[in-house]
Amino acid sequence: RGLESTCEAEYQSEVLGLRGLQHPALFLLAQEARAAFDIHSYGDQLVSRFSRVGEWHSFASLLAGQPAFEVCRAMLASLQLANDYTVEVSQGPGLEEAVDTMALRLLSQERAHQRFHTYTAPSLSKQ
């Protein structure tokens, strides 16, 4: 709730600021000027910020100084990394009261799409 509401608040502020100028086209131009979202690229960037497997970092420390839209994209990529067992997600107590309670631990440097590329199902390997 904390990180999500922060991202949402910054996004709404940006939208309202652009609407206040009565130039909604500026908002679309800003969106189009950004690189397309590539979840694998964002996942690679997150994984590259770890020095070794087993290392923990707070989510905020991994994205310090990044604009809100980058933080939101990285959040989505981190959830995919967790789903792929590349990172472990943890939270400190008090998630409702604080923004920075999420932490990530690197479980593997090899990305899931790389692991599955060389995977052979046991039923096929017996043939």
Q: CA of 103: how far to CAs of 24, 59, 82, in Å?
A: 36, 5, 11
Q: Which residue type, as a one-letter code, is found at position 64?
A: A
DSSP secondary structure code for residue 64 in this structure? T
The reported pLDDT for the residue numbered 87 is 95
Q: Which two tokens stand for residue 83?
A: 């789903």
- Structural domains of the chain sorted by starting position, each given as residue range(s) with its CATH number in brackets: 1-34 (no CATH), 36-110 (1.10.10.580)
Residue 96: pLDDT band (50, 70, 90) is: low
Which of helix, strand or coil describes residue 122? helix
Q: Which residue type, as a one-letter code, is found at position 40?
A: H
Q: CA of 73: how far to CAs of 45, 69, 77, 119, in Å?
A: 11, 6, 6, 28
**Stretch 63-76: mean pLDDT:** 92
Rounded CA gap, 20 and 17, in Å? Answer: 5
The reported pLDDT for the residue numbered 106 is 87
Segment 101-118, tens digit of pLDDT: 788 888 888 877 777 677
Rounded CA gap, 10 and 12, in Å? Answer: 5
